[in-house]
Amino acid sequence: MGEIALPENAAKILRQIRKKYKTEFDALRVRDRELQILQVSDIEPLLKGKDPFEDVSTFPFWVRLWEAALILADTMVAMPLPPNKRLLELGAGLGAPGLAAAAAGYQVTLSDYEPHILDFQKVSAAANNLDNVEFRIIDWKKPPKMIKFDTIIGAEILFREEFFAPLLDILRRYLAPDGTIYLSHNTDRSSLSPFLQMASEYFKIGTISRKISTEDKEITILLNRLQFLDSAA
């Protein structure tokens, strides 16, 4: 599609991004909304033939719009909370679920661990005229002081066992006492079950499955809803 008119600050960020990456805006339909998501149009130079699950410490997971993120984005639009509810997306990558939530009326904070990932999010937010989005770098092992959020979401964020305990600490630290967490993952992720087992000490956990079709197969996504146990809030 053609170029999207951006405010100058976002256009400047996009020019810097394009010094390193080939990018394009892709339209993402989420129910009755259409979002423009800035994506890397040629990821092969970044992947360099890597298998994403052979070495999860080096694979750039943020460059892909994962099926779990699409399901989570749909969930945010299907179950919007009243305006001014605060939402945090952890490990947001390209930020589709959080941007969909912002379009649905949430006050959104998109987060990840490197500035260049947030740059993609900033351009996409500007392309969709969303002024209810903030951006934060969050190191899960050294989390900053932040407000509590009514909703916390994450898609495909459970890859490395060493981050399970820090993530659990972040969820407990940042979630409001009556808040809700939504985690979305491909059923192939063997790391999901061990993490949920850890989380069950503090949260009551519900699970539903959603199917999504790709070009060559059907993928099952597990959507988990976590809420504090009464004694853990």
Residue type, position 3, single letter = E
pLDDT bracket for residue 215 (50, 70, 90): confident
Give the per-residue pLDDT at 233.
64
Could you tell me which residue, 231 or 70, shows the higher pLDDT?
Answer: 70
Report the C-alpha gap between 22 and 32 in whole angstroms.
Answer: 29
Token duo for residue 150: 């009514």
List the domains of the chain with CATH numbers: 8-228 (3.40.50.150)
User: pLDDT tens digit string along 15-60?
Assistant: 999 999 999 999 999 999 999 999 999 877 766 666 655 655 667 8
Report the C-alpha gap between 31 and 139 in whole angstroms.
Answer: 33
pLDDT bracket for residue 198 (50, 70, 90): very high
Region 184-200: mean pLDDT is: 94
Report the C-alpha gap between 221 and 209 in whole angstroms.
Answer: 6
Report the C-alpha gap between 226 and 157 in whole angstroms.
Answer: 15
Identity of the highest mean pLDDT range in 18-32, 54-68, 75-89: 18-32
What count of other Cβ atoms lies within 10 Å of the Cβ of residue 174?
22
Q: What percent of the chain has pLDDT over 90?
A: 80
Contact yes or no for 139/20 (Cβ under 8 A): no
What count of other Cβ atoms lies within 10 Å of the Cβ of residue 197?
11
Does residue 184 carry a pLDDT above 80?
yes
Q: What percent of the chain has pLDDT over 70?
A: 91
* Strand spans (E) along 118-202: 133-137, 149-155, 175-186
Q: Which residues pair with 28 in a beta bridge?
A: 35
Token duo for residue 53: 């699950």
Query: What 3-state class would DSSP assign to 96?
Result: helix
Q: Burial letters for 116-146: b for 16+ Cβ neighbours within 10 Å, e otherwise? A: ebbbbbbbbbbbbebebbebeebebeeeeee
What count of other Cβ atoms lies within 10 Å of the Cβ of residue 218?
9
Give the per-residue pLDDT at 26.
96
Give the per-residue pLDDT at 1.
52
To the question of pTM greater than 0.85 for the whole model, the response is: yes
Region 120-140: mean pLDDT is: 98
Token duo for residue 128: 């969709």
Report the C-alpha gap between 137 and 91 in whole angstroms.
Answer: 9
Question: For the chain, what percentages of helix, strand and coil (3-state, to nearest 5) are there?
Answer: 30, 30, 40
Contact yes or no for 203/232 (Cβ under 8 A): yes
Give the per-residue pLDDT at 54.
62
Does residue 220 carry a pLDDT above 70?
yes
pLDDT bracket for residue 230 (50, 70, 90): confident
